[in-house]
Structures are given as structure tokens and as C-alpha cells.
Structure 1
Amino acid sequence: MTSITTIASQLDVNNKASIKNRLFKSAMSEQLADRDNAPTDELVHLYRAWAKGGTGLLVTGNVMVDRSALGEPRNVVLDEKSDIAKFKAWADASTENGAQVWMQLNHPGKQIPSFLSKEPLAPSAVPLGNGLESGFKCPRALTEAEILAIIERFAWVSAKAKECGFNGVQIHSAHGYLVNQFLSPHHNRRDDQWGGSLENRMRFLMEIYRAIRAAVGDSFPVGVKLNSADFQKGGFDESDSIEVIQALQNEGIDLIEISGGNYENPSMVGSGASESTLKREAYFLDYAEKAQKIMNVPLVVTGGFRSASAMNSAIASGAADMIGIARPLALDPALANKLMASDKHSIQLPVLSTGIKALDAMTMLDITWYEHQLERIGKGKSPKPNLSEWVSVLKTFTALGALAFQKRRV
């Protein structure tokens, strides 16, 4: 009798990791670092809640590889100045109940708010558009020496993550951050070996992977989060993405998570999703089915899943090997156990709006409202699904004001 693969089934990752189930906590912005950008007790408590809640693989929110390049004020940073004991405590809590935790490594490139950077860096001096010009400065193009230094930062942080007890690392190459900027012909207009052809545009990602692999050895899992597409005119598209997947597999990548979009077009939170996509729940499942034709490593599909039945269907069909969940876990940290216990279990997310679109966009309400839920869990409180959007906006402005004032005083 052939057993059916479900979200409760174990998964082997390239003989390097055994994940107890197919549920994957995708990275979210937690904004729970302290003033030194180190993990806090709240962050430790939050990950312990998710581990106890049954999720098989927890991927951290952005851990920035450069203290001078923060995507958000309270990002965690791991560098020579970091208190390593705090990272070890974070890893220990995250691996309770048999869970695995992989550290997501990131550099924001030009996706840095103006109050955090006077001169952000990017592949080319191309500003963000679609109404973001006022909040993000036009970047300066990276020099080759700076590119090589950033590659080494990714490798150093990976080795340190392994030392601290994290079970793997994930390179963030999606959502418009620096690695994704290099992949995009819209954002990367270089005419040297780092730009132009897709082979050149993917060089930054490939060199980061090679440097990490050299630093952590062959038995430590290394994954990547990759856009299926940027959904932006002249940007990184599906055909590019398929080629990058093939190249990564040839190099020995262990796991690939698929998402899409960027700050200018936030498809990762469902912006512009079609009716047919919403019915299937997964925003990027159609692309995943194409990608699976060439896959020889596990593929994670993240974005849109809300019910156990849709998740099990995606796993059983072979379209996905793991199901990435993010915002639903901000409203129920024990969601994984409930999904595995009943195929009928589901969760619905609120439609968030203050009624003023410009204000929603300015405060990134679809992200910050969930950050405030994560803060509640980190403080030992229950999530608050009926949290007012206006309360969330006020908390966002208060936090940004305090941080801006603190920055001016430094």
C-alpha cells in the first residue's frame, strides 16, 4: 500500500538535514532586535513558540550581514561586534521540539529607508519607483571591491551561524533586496562582469553561494529564497528564474524557496493576485509546477496558503515539497500542529486598511501590522487579530520617530 505524502511527512534535504514535517516558516520582518541589533528575549520567546507549535523548519527574519546596511531599524545583525551568546540562545530556543532553524542572510541594497542611510548601495544608480522615491534615496553603484567584500560578509556570517547552533542558512535573493537587484536587468545596468547577460547578473549570487559553501563545508545545508519573477517591466522574469535554479542546482544548493515581487510590486503579500490564484491559495504554484520539471532538490512554495487541504494537495501533486507559511503564523504560532491534525483546518487573514491608501503604503501596513503581532507573541501575549489598523500605524510612527531622533543624537 503506497503512503500519501502530506504536510506531516518527513523530508530529507540532500542527506544533510531531516525535517520532521513539510511545514516551513518563511522569513518575516520581526523588528525585535535590541539597540545593538542583537537578538532579544522577545525574539527567543517568539521562536520557541513556533518550535513548540510544530513547524518543522523555521527560517529567521532578515539577519543583515552589514551593520551599516539595515533594511529596517531593528534588524538583527551578526558581525564581529555581536554578542554570540544571544545568537546561541536564539538557536537553542528555535530547535526545541525537534524543529530546525536556518538563518536567513540578507543585504538590503537600496531598499533602505532614507533616515537609515544617506547613500545606499546597489548594482547601479537606479532609484526605486512606484511612489517610493520620497522614502528611499537614489543609490550609488557598488565598486568591484565593495562587491567582493559583501560576498565575504555572507560567508563569514554563515560560518558564525553554524558555530552558534543554527542548522543551516538561507541566502535572501528575492523581494528586491541586493541579491535580487543584481539579478534584475531593470535594477542592474552594469557593463562589467556583474551585469548585462543573465550569466553575469547571477554571478553575485553564485559567488555568494560558493563562498558560503567554502566557509561552512559540504555537510551544512545552504538554501536560497528566489523570486519566480519581479512582476516589473524589464525586471527578472520566469525564464530567468528557471535558469538560475538550474545553475544553483549544478553548484550544489540544498533547498530553494520560491516567492516573488519587491517593494515596488509586493506580490509576496498577494498584491495583484488573480482570482484563479486565490482559489488555489498559493500565489506562485503555477510557476512551481514548471520549476519542478527540472528540480532535483526540495522546492518550497511560499505565499497564499491558508488551509490544510490546499497545502496537502500541493504536496501530494508534487508541485511543492514544503509549504512556506509566514503571516498566518503571526496570528497562530501553533498553526502547524492544527494543520497536521485536521485536513479541514484553515486560517483567514484580515484585509487591512486605514481607508487611506497612501498612509497604508507609507507605513507598509501589510507588514508592520504583523510585526506588531510578533511583538505580542514575543512578550508572552496572545496575537490580537482585531488589532486596529490605526493603532498599528500609530505604533509604527512612534517607533520610527524615536529611532530617527536616536539616530540624530548619535
Structure 2
Amino acid sequence: MAKPTFAHSPLHQPLRLACGISIPNRIAKSAMSEQLADRHGSPTTDLQQLYAAWAKGGTGLLITGNVMIDHRAFVEPRNVVLEDAQFLQANKLWAQAAQANGSKIIMQINHPGRVAVLPLFKKPIAPSAIGLNLPAMNLIRVPRAMSEIEILEQIKRFATTAALAIQAGFDGVQVHAAHGYLLSQFLSPLANIRTDQWGGTPENRRRILIETVRAVRQAIGPDKILSVKLNAADFQKGGLSQEESLQVALVLEAEGIDLLEVSGGNYESPAQLGYAPDRSAQRDAYFIHYATALRQHSKLPLMLTGGLRHVDFMNQIVANGTVDLVGLARPFAMQPDLAKQLLAGQSVVEPAKIPAIGYKPVDAYLQLAWHAAQFRRISSGQQPKVIKGLIRTLAAFGPRMSFNILTQD
């Protein structure tokens, strides 16, 4: 394929979704955990300023870090919580800051299920009473299996948060069904060993996701973006397979979602960070094989996230129709104006070396800490700054994380 003229490259083209909303270009900032809410779960001015910087940088679609649908379960301290009108004004300001330069913004809505960090001394809920297969976690954080009443409650909570997001002015929502959170746990044969209508077969394991999507669509209406984030696979023996995930995607297409974001992995196998056991996931696009396979059977608009770094490759997969949006996450922590750079034909700069100890779950936390420190700099008007060394990385985030855990409302 001839190299495109970058003033008119495929990445420049707008994308009109079935709901009628047009995204001004094909570059999306995928969700990352900002941890910039206040102790009660309200968005702060720091969060507004962070998204204003990314919008000013030319990003077509901004997807928020996970917003909690239930104040009784946090992924991390200082997550935003949106379950009633209490913080509606702060969420309106957040949406407005992101839209000021023409970007579209959707709110990622989520429940952590068994991986809830907070509250510390309460059993998390999950499809089944099965803990994470990580040292100590399968002993100290064994979840409680949800009753059917609780399952129906959480479906309703997804819909309530989605409706509030639209009231706040967001262009839509993304239902998080990836990365080992609650809906992803229901999809996993390892985490979901139920024998009722919510488990046991592929159809039953995906039931809560489909019912959630239907409830959310009813809550937001036909003219707002309804996206789902789905694992291409869990990258665990016995977990959600690519074959089953492809079937889930086709069912989601039949439900009329507007956009599917393809990712992969979870806390036990963080493939979304490049730590997949499958060596093929170490290439330029971790989950390109899944996107290619799905495209053969589906016209559903696809957003591919994970490992995309080379602008020629991004333009190629958009031009040939494999994907419709390219999603990037971590590079936005060092290049707030990344979208402008990509639209000008420049690839992502060589990533900084982030400290690692060789144990995937801990290394995933170090990634989180390192990038969260950059978000705080960007939100205060500073330039990102490389943090070198394990001790400095822990010092930049560890005490703050401990304080946030202890003071979370």
C-alpha cells in the first residue's frame, strides 16, 4: 500500500457511528486509571484539566478511566463514582472540558467484582466464591457469590450511571466487560462456575453483559454512543477463549452497540500491558489477530487498543477496514498532544523504561503508579517527566496510594 499523504491520511477521516454521532478523527484515548476524584468520588478540577489537555492535543475520542457504578466497590481509591445526582455538576464540568476542542467523550462505567481494592475489610462480590489465582489474594480476598437479586441490582446500577452520564453531557458510555472486572468475570469459565441461568454455558455466562447492554441502551436512548470493552481472550488456560469472545462480539453487534473496543487480559495475566504468555501478543498490535478474525464476520465498528505505536501501521489497518479507531493509552501519559503528532505522520516516541521486578502483577502496579504520576503533572500544567528507578517510582505513588486508601470515603 502506498504511504498516505498525512494531511489526508486515514487517521484524519471522521467516523460516523450508527447512533448518529461523528468522531472527528480515528484516534482514541483508551481508558486509564486517573485516580483524580476527591475522597467522595466527585471529579476534581485536576481531572477536568487533564482531559482538557488531551482534547487540546487533537484526540478524536476520549474514554474516561473507570467510573464506579456502586460506592461499595472501588477498583482503586479516588475513582469517580456516579450513582446519583450528587456529583452531577462536577461531571458536567468534566465533560465540557473534554469537549471544548471538538473531541467526543464517553464515560467508561464499571464494577470491579472480586478485584475491588476497597473497602479493604469487606468481602467483594463476584459470580462465584473464587479468589484471584495470585499469591495470598486467593486467601485474603475470597469473594462472595452474588445472589440473583444482586445481579439484577448491578444491571440496574449500570443503567442508572449511564443515564446520569448523559445528563452530565457525555456523548455516551462504555460498558467495561474486559480486564477481569465483574462483567469479564461472568464471561470467564474460571471465575464463573455458577449452575443457574447466569453461568454454566457460554450463553448463560454472557447473559449479564447482554442484559446490561439492553438496560444501558434503554437508559441513554438511540442517539448516544454505546460502546463495550471486551477481551479478545483472557490469556489463561481455561479462561475466556478467542473463539467464545468472537461469539460474544457477534451477539453484541446484534444488540446494536455502536462501538466495540478490543483489548485482553486481566489481573492474573495482564496482556493489555504486553505481559501475555502468548509471544504473538508482543507485536505492534497485541490483539490484531482477533480484530482480523472478527472483521471477516462482522461490520461492527471496532477500536483496537494495545501495543499500537507505528503510525504507518495504524493508517494501514484503518485504510483496509480491519479497524475503525486506533486506541492508545499509556503513550498519552508522556505525550498529551499525541493525536496531533500521529495526524502529522509521526509515530509514538520510544517509551520510557518503567521499573519492573519480573513478577507480572507487581509490574502492572508499577505501570499504574508510573503513569498516574504523569497524570498529576499534566493536570497541574506541567510537562510529563520520566521517573527513573524502582525506589523513585514507589516514592512517587506508594505513599499517596496508602493515604488515599485510608481516607477514601
Cα pair 1:46 1:377 within 8 Å, conserved: yes
Question: Pairwise mapping of residues 230-269 of structure 1 onto structure 2 (< 5 A)?
Answer: 230-269=234-273
CA distance in 1, matches of 2:286, 2:71: 33
Between the two proteins, the alignment pairs up a number of residues equal to 404
Change (3 A) 1:349 1:220: same
Match of 1:379 in 2: 380
- Distance of aligned partners of 1:144 and 1:110 in 2 relative to their CA distance in 1, 3 Å threshold: same
Q: Does 1:96 align with 2:100?
A: yes
Residue number in structure 2 paired with 1:368: 369
Query: In the alignment, which residue of structure 2 is the partner of 1:341?
Result: 344
Match of 1:373, as an amino acid? Q
1:211-267, Cα deviation, whole Å (9 max, x unpaired): 111111122210100000001111101111111011111111110000000000000
Out of 33-42 and 75-84, give the one that drifted further. 75-84
Change (3 A) 1:396 1:115: farther
5 Å-filtered alignment, 1:81-120, equals 82-113=86-117, 116-120=120-124
1:27 to 31, 46, 49: 31
In 1, the alpha carbon distance for the partners of 2:280 and 2:374 equals 29
Match of 2:294 in 1: 291
TM-score (norm 2): 0.94
For the residues of structure 1 that align with 2:74 and 2:118, how far apart are their CA atoms?
11
Query: Structure 1 residue 96: deviation in Å?
Result: 1.4
Quote the residue 1:403 is aligned against. Answer: 404
Which amino acid in structure 1 is aligned with residue 183 of structure 2? V
Structure 1 residues 34 and 101, CA gap change in structure 2 (3 angstroms): same
Distance 2:372 2:329 in 1: 11
* Kept in 1: contact 2:276–2:282 (CA 8 A): no
Alignment of 1:69-84 (within 5 A): 69-80=73-84, 82-84=86-88
Using the TM superposition, give the Cα deviation of residue 135 of structure 1 relative to its aligned residue in structure 2, in angstroms.
8.8
Letter in 2 for 1:241: S
Question: How is 1:5-404 mapped onto 2 (pairs within 5 angstroms)?
Answer: 6-80=10-84, 82-113=86-117, 116-131=120-135, 133=137, 137-272=141-276, 277-279=281-283, 281-342=284-345, 344-353=346-355, 356-357=357-358, 361=362, 364-404=365-405
Q: TM-score, normalised by structure 1?
A: 0.93
Q: How far off its partner does 1:349 sit?
A: 1.4
Residues 239, 137 of structure 1: alpha-carbon distance in 2 compared, 3 angstrom cutoff: same
Q: Deviations over 1:278-337 (max 9, x none)?
A: 44x110001110011122221000000112112112212222111000000010110100
Shift of 1:357: 3.8
CA separation of 1:275 and 1:406: change in aligned 2, threshold 3 A: closer
Contact kept, 8 Å, 2:112 with 2:181, in 1: the verdict is yes
Task: After superposing the two structures, state which structure 1 stretch, 80-89 or 177-186, moved more.
Answer: 80-89
CA distance in 1, matches of 2:407, 2:174: 31
For residues 285 and 333 of structure 1, the distance between their equivalents in structure 2, rounded to whole angstroms, comes to 25
**RMSD, aligned CA:** 2.1
- Are 2:66 and 2:108, in contact at CA under 8 Å, matched by a contact in 1? yes
- Quick one: which amino acid aligns to residue 137 of structure 1? R
- Bigger shift: residues 390-399 or 101-110: 390-399
- Secondary structure of the 1:166 match is coil
State the one-letter code of the partner of 2:250.
Answer: Q
What CA distance in whole angstroms lies between the structure 1 residues aligned with 2:267 and 2:140?
11
Deviates more, 1:390-399 or 1:195-204: 390-399
Cα distance between partner residues in 2 of 1:362 and 1:350: 14
Paired residue type of 2:127: P
Higher mean C-alpha deviation, range 344-353 or range 295-304: 344-353
Which segment is superposed worse, 190-199 or 208-217? 208-217
| Long gaps (5+) in structure 1 | none
Matched residue SS, 1:116: coil
Displacement after TM superposition at 1:66 (Å): 0.2
Corresponding residue SS for 2:108? strand
The separation in 1 between residues aligned to 2:181 and 2:39, in whole angstroms, is: 23
Deviation track 1:169-216 (CA, whole Å, cap 9, x = no partner) reads 000000000000000011000000000111100000000011111111
Question: Shift in Å at residue 85 of structure 1?
Answer: 0.9
Is contact 1:121–1:140 with CA below 8 Å preserved after alignment? yes
The residue identity in structure 1 corresponding to 2:353 is V
3-state DSSP class of the match of 2:113? Answer: coil
